[in-house]
């Protein structure tokens, strides 16, 4: 009898497992014609094609540099479906609910808009750049052009997590993804550089007033426990750093960083890590830690 109960329990667990693995998304549309599996909220097919197409090209490009291809499926969701399938509570922040599913917002939203500064309170040259990079046909500003590119940042996490790189620090795993993002755009879609660069420059130029945490030590301690806007400020600082790193060394720096983090598995002290980055990767990368 015990054996029969055990077998029955095993069968039930296996059925539940298979159901979870083959979860259907009946309220979403599946996007076809791409190598990446993707689903989107109805009414967003064109945006889904743009986002998935760029992710497909980025994966191919980075795989050529790293000799590794991560598994990923994309979900381009409206606010209603975000509540159902996403795990990050704030609509608009791209993220992984698990190791392979990447969730991206399909619509402009309050989180993105919260970063738009009063243009009459910032330098004229920066205001002009912002209007040029994010101006819309109706005369308003939208950060969608920037946040759409963040899907590639999230792909970076798929690369380093699935390949098992030892990232050493939380700030490094974010910087790694920003370097990958900037490298891809600069090498493959340079016309998108204004959309990628202007937003971070704008946020950093506004200073640190209103942000509770600003040091790398704070970032390590509060990574999962800080205001989303404060977290966004850190990402912008790291985006600016990634731009400087690429401009100084090109795609070779990303390749050196990938190989270095893959080959060095032992946990390093701050001094060891700074020396490793300076000698094995790039002095520009090391400066992110030493000159923050």
Residue 9 lies in a domain: no
Residue 6 lies in a domain: no
In terms of residue numbers, what domain contains 268? 29-290
Q: How far apart are CA 275 and CA 115, in angstroms?
A: 35
Residue 12 lies in a domain: no
- 147: domain CATH number is 1.10.390.10
pTM given for the model: 0.87
Total number of domains constituting the chain: 1
Residue 16 lies in a domain: no
Per-residue pLDDT of the chain (292 residues; tens, 9 = 90+): 545 544 554 444 444 444 444 467 999 999 999 999 999 999 999 999 999 999 999 999 999 999 999 999 999 999 999 999 999 998 998 999 998 999 999 999 998 888 888 888 888 998 899 999 999 988 889 989 998 899 999 999 999 999 999 999 999 999 999 999 999 999 999 999 999 999 899 889 889 999 999 999 999 999 989 998 899 899 999 999 999 999 999 999 999 999 999 999 999 999 999 999 999 999 999 999 999 9
Q: What is the 3-state secondary structure (H, E, C) of 225-236?
A: CCCHHHHHHHHH
Residue 123 lies in a domain: yes
Residue 129 lies in a domain: yes
Residue 79 lies in a domain: yes
> In sequence order, what are the residues at sequence separation of 6 or more whose Cβ sits closer than 8 angstroms to the Cβ of residue 14?
none
Check: CB of residue 65 under 8 Å from CB of residue 258. yes
Residue 3 lies in a domain: no
Q: What is the pLDDT of residue 38?
A: 97
Long-range contact pairs involving 262-268 (C-beta distance under 8 Å, separation at least 24): 262/163, 262/164, 262/165, 262/166, 264/166, 265/166, 266/166, 267/166, 267/168, 268/168
């Amino acid at each position: 009898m015990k054996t029969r109960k055990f077998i029955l329990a095993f069968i039930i667990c296996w059925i539940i497992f298979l159901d979870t693995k083959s979860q259907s998304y009946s309220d979403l549309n599946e996007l076809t014609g791409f190598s990446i599996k993707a689903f989107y909220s109805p009414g967003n097919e064109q945006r889904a094609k743009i986002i998935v197409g760029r992710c497909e090209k980025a994966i191919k490009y980075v795989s050529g540099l790293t000799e590794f291809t991560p598994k990923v499926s994309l979900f381009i969701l409206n606010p209603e479906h975000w509540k159902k399938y996403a795990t990050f509570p704030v609509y608009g922040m791209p993220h992984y609910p698990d190791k392979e599913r990447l969730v991206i917002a399909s619509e402009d939203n309050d989180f993105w808009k919260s970063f738009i500064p009063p243009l009459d309170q910032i330098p004229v040259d920066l205001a002009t750049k912002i209007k040029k990079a994010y101006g819309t046909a109706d005369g308003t500003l939208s950060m969608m052009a920037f946040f759409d590119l963040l899907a590639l940042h999230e792909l970076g996490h798929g690369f380093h997590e699935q390949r098992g790189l030892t990232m050493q620090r939380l700030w490094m795993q974010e910087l790694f993804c920003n370097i990958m993002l900037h490298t891809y755009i600069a090498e493959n879609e340079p016309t998108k550089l204004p959309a990628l660069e202007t937003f971070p420059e704008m946020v950093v130029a506004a200073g640190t007033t209103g942000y509770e945490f600003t040091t790398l030590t704070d970032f390590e301690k509060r990574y999962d426990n800080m205001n989303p806007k404060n977290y966004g400020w850190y990402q912008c600082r790291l985006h600016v750093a990634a731009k400087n790193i690429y401009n100084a060394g090109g795609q070779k720096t990303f390749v050196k960083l990938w190989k270095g983090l893959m080959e060095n598995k032992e946990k390093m002290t701050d001094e060891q890590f700074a020396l490793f980055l300076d000698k094995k990767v790039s002095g520009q990368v090391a400066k992110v830690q030493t000159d923050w």
